[in-house]
Structure 1
Amino acid sequence: MATSLLTLTIPDLAALPAAAAQVRAALAGHTIICFEGEMGAGKTTFIKALGRELGISEEISSPTFALVNEYRTAADQPVYHFDFYRLDDPAEAEGIGASEYFDSGYLCLIEWPGRVEPLLPDHRLTLTLTVTGPSSRELKIEI
């Protein structure tokens, strides 16, 4: 059963940096971060804000077709960003070595994690973005 750690109200895009800073603080000890939310809820947009908070200077974009993008933090640590929306079977993620990424000890940010559920470790955070208005969102962090 999931335990809620934090619920944030994000009234607009201007509030994203502050929300990303709070999420960064909640990451302690977690390397697998799953992002849930309907299409257009802002998963990639939030990951961009979190990336800036982690000191990633590269442009963050959705790896919808590549499945995974690698970025580097200010401390030169890799961050892996996955988008499994287009997968039909977890075996496709196994084909790119997803389990090795998940076991690497480095931060893995995963959009559409339900498509690879059998591959995900139990020890993970789930961030659920819910649309509450034209530019507002609720973000719930669960363990």
Structure 2
Amino acid sequence: MSAEERLVIADPEAMERFGARVAAELRASDVVLLTGELGAGKTTFTRGLGAALGVRGTVTSPTFVLARTHPRESAAPLVHVDAYRLSDAAELDDLDIDFAGSIVVVEWGAGLVEHLVDEWLSITIGRPTGGGASGPDGAAADPDVAPVEPRAVTVTGTGERWADLGWIHAARD
């Protein structure tokens, strides 16, 4: 059983707000699978999600440590995983993540998470390529400043927990 919704996120601030909107739906044992190329906004999304959950400390990319646990006052912690360097679900399982007692966000976990849990929310962030050649007035863009480009986001819920994604519409900017 799965459901799917699509939306466009205008900028990094909107991506953080979207993360906060998703956070409002999460509880212990929920798994969010993030997919998107480098720079798509996966960590930006998770930063907004973490802030809305009230985690202690700043959410940063767990690239070099594989997983970071962000504690919360009297609530399930947020576990943020970067599975980029993992080759299979067994390696993800070896991280000994408390899936039942945590909210788990896994970047680069497609093909891995599905072997460990029955239900998850998948968020795919599409980043445009080749854009940003000119500014809003048609003038050449500053080559030292990365253009802010909207992201196409697809949210897919797998399992009964995520069968209804109607709440996503409230997240549109």
Alignment TM class, shorter chain as reference: 0.7 to 0.9
Distance in 1 between residues matched to 2:91 and 2:17, nearest whole Å: 36
Shift in Å at residue 28 of structure 1?
6.0
SS in 2 for 1:110: strand
Instruction: Please list every run of at least 4 consecutive aligned residues from structure 1 whose deviation after the TM superposition is greater than 6 angstroms.
Output: none
Letter of the structure 2 residue corresponding to residue 3 of structure 1: A
Unaligned runs of 5+ in 2: 132-146, 158-173
Shift in Å at residue 118 of structure 1?
5.1
For 1:119, the equivalent position in structure 2 comes to 115
8 Å CA contact retained: 1:35, 1:43: yes
Larger radius of gyration: 2
Give the TM-score of the pair, scaled to structure 2. 0.69
SS in 2 for 1:40: coil
- Give the aligned length: 139
CA 1:96–1:20 in 2, change beyond 3 Å: closer, same or farther? closer
Distance in 2 between residues matched to 1:27 and 1:8, nearest whole Å: 19
Letter of the structure 1 residue corresponding to residue 119 of structure 2: H
Give the TM-score of the pair, scaled to structure 1. 0.81
Q: Which residues in structure 2 correspond to 1:65-104 (within 5 Å)?
A: 65-98=64-97, 101-102=98-99, 104=100
| Structure whose residues are more often helix by fraction | 1
Percent identity over paired residues: 34
SS in 1 for 2:104: strand
8 Å CA contact retained: 2:69, 2:79: yes
8 Å CA contact retained: 1:30, 1:123: no
Q: Which residues in structure 2 correspond to 1:28-39 (within 5 Å)?
A: 31-39=30-38
